[in-house]
Amino acid sequence: MADKASRLAPYLPAIYARLMEPQRQKLDLIATCDCGAVRLTLDGPVLAMLQCSCENCQKVSGGGHSSVVLVPADTATLSGDTKSYTRPAASGADFTRHFCAACGTTALAQSSRAPDVAIIPAGLLAGQNAWFAPNQLIFAGSLPDWDQIDSALPRYTAYRPEKQL
């Protein structure tokens, strides 16, 4: 028994660290736009859940912030008649929103800064998003005073640190 324990000893820190990692939410669902013409299928892990109060998110959401879910891009499949709009982001990256050509609902967004990540509006998953729990607010400096966000939520003046997905 002691021999077996000594062979495992070098691996124990990594095993312990893996056990202590928070479990990632796994999605297996289908969402549609407001008119039902566009369908988004999600089948994979959630990378992050956050809120953003940049001025672009305010304009698109119609509120003081957007609530989004980040997933690996290869786990999000969009179907139906969509249009896209690309704009330069504050980071210098290109930011593209894909939306329904009929009703205008944003179904998915992507940044050239993180091309392997799909950005999903949490509201698109209405009725299926009780698990949504944002853990940070980015672009907090442009959050309007009238939009009340939980004060316990960590806030960043711009993008969150890279290691905090």
Q: What is the mean pLDDT of the chain?
A: 86
Q: Do 25 and 46 form a contact (C-beta atoms < 8 A)?
A: yes
Please count the residues of the chain.
Answer: 165
Look-up: residue for tokens 């993180």? 114
The model carries a pTM of 0.81
Question: For residues 120, 124, 125 and 130, what is the CA-based torsion angle, rounded to 10 degrees?
Answer: 90
Q: What is the CATH number of domain 24-142?
A: 3.90.1590.10
pLDDT of residue 13: 53
pLDDT tens column, 57-102: 989 899 999 999 999 999 999 999 999 999 998 778 899 999 999 9
d(CA 1, CA 159): 50
Q: Identify the pLDDT of residue 16.
A: 43
What is the 3 state secondary structure string of 6-42? HHHHHHHHHHHHHHHCCCCCEEEEEEECCCCCCEEEE
Bridge-based pairing of strands 94-100 and 106-111 is antiparallel
Q: What is the pLDDT of residue 95?
A: 94
Note the pLDDT tens digit of each residue in 11-61. 445 444 443 445 578 999 999 999 999 999 999 999 999 999 988 898 989
